[in-house]
Structure 1
């Protein structure tokens, strides 16, 4: 079993990512259960605007990310919150993933079927539930299965304040919820592996 995390932080490597600090609680639990972890920091790549899986221009990195998505049974979109919204990077990733809606395997099974997905959100402002709803709604449209409680988040609360790694409260809750998220993602992924969905009826 393989899991891919797409980190949609605005910070390029090697800058510290609060979003990564939280998603590592999810991947740590998955690794304990034998899942292989792959991580993409999308902002480090040239991902062009578009709604197709093929390259939009020379140097467009999306086809390589698309291959890594298809190689994984579990997908986690991890994003900070800005103005109560997913990051612009997360929106670009979702935009490109919409190209998967028209992709099937040789038996007519949609590309995202029999795969599970979840969301990690951080931010020193509120809006996490809105961000989770936006991203999980898009992932379900594409064909992913989103288990119950397949998310975790941390935010500082009303007003300005520190980032996840700088302080604040609620870290234990966020990490505990992350471990539950990992267990739910893996449990449903294993169920779909054992009893996969077939092509939609015609």
Structure 2
């Protein structure tokens, strides 16, 4: 089984991403379950706006799209800005819109029989809103969202320390992240054993 973590930080590599640090807890938990984990940071790629899979020359989304289809588990990793997902998270979801019309050879929508979760950080509130926006969009595409398939960290209202600069809240965020990995793996395994069939008449 494979998992793909798509980081929607605004920072280019090698700059440190706070959200990726928390996501690593989830990745390590999945690896202990035997899952092969891959990572991609959208800020490192030229992904223009659009709602199709391939925009032609210079578009670096198609290889990322191929990696999405090669993974049973998707984890969207996004910071919180102004109480909302990052602009890269929105860009990713817009490009994934094309998956609504893409099907397997059997006629099943390509996002079916895949699971997804969300990791969020930010030194302000808004995590539940971000989780709801991203999870709702992924469910629209056909992904299955297991119960409690998310974890987050925030410092609380107003300015404060960033995630790696304090131990505040880490124990809860890490425990929740390990539970997230458990639930993603359990539901992905169930779907692999008994996949959702093609739609009637598909």
- Sort the TM-score into its range (normalised by shorter chain): over 0.9
Any unmatched runs of 5+ in structure 1? none
TM superposition shift of 1:14 = 0.3
Conservation of the 8 A alpha-carbon contact between 1:162 and 1:168? no
Paired residues, what number? Answer: 201
Supply the distance in 1 between the matched residues of 2:151 and 2:53 (Cα, whole angstroms): 28
Partners of 1:150 and 1:61 in 2: CA distance: 28
Q: Which residue of 2 aligns with 1:127?
A: 126
- Distance, in Å, in 2 between the alignment partners of 1:201 and 1:161 is 53
The structural deviation recorded for 1:170 is 0.5
List 4+ stretches of structure 1 deviating above 3 A.
none
- TM-score normalized by structure 2? 0.98
* SS of equivalent residue, structure 2 residue 134: helix
Question: Does the CA contact (< 8 Å) of 1:74 and 1:116 recur in 2?
Answer: yes
Give the TM-score of the pair, scaled to structure 1: 0.98
Shift of 1:200: 1.5
Corresponding residue of 1:160: 159
Gaps of 5+ in 2: none
Q: How does 1:94-173 map to 2 (within 5 A)?
A: 94-167=93-166, 169-173=168-172
Q: Is the 8 A contact 1:112 1:142 kept in 2?
A: yes
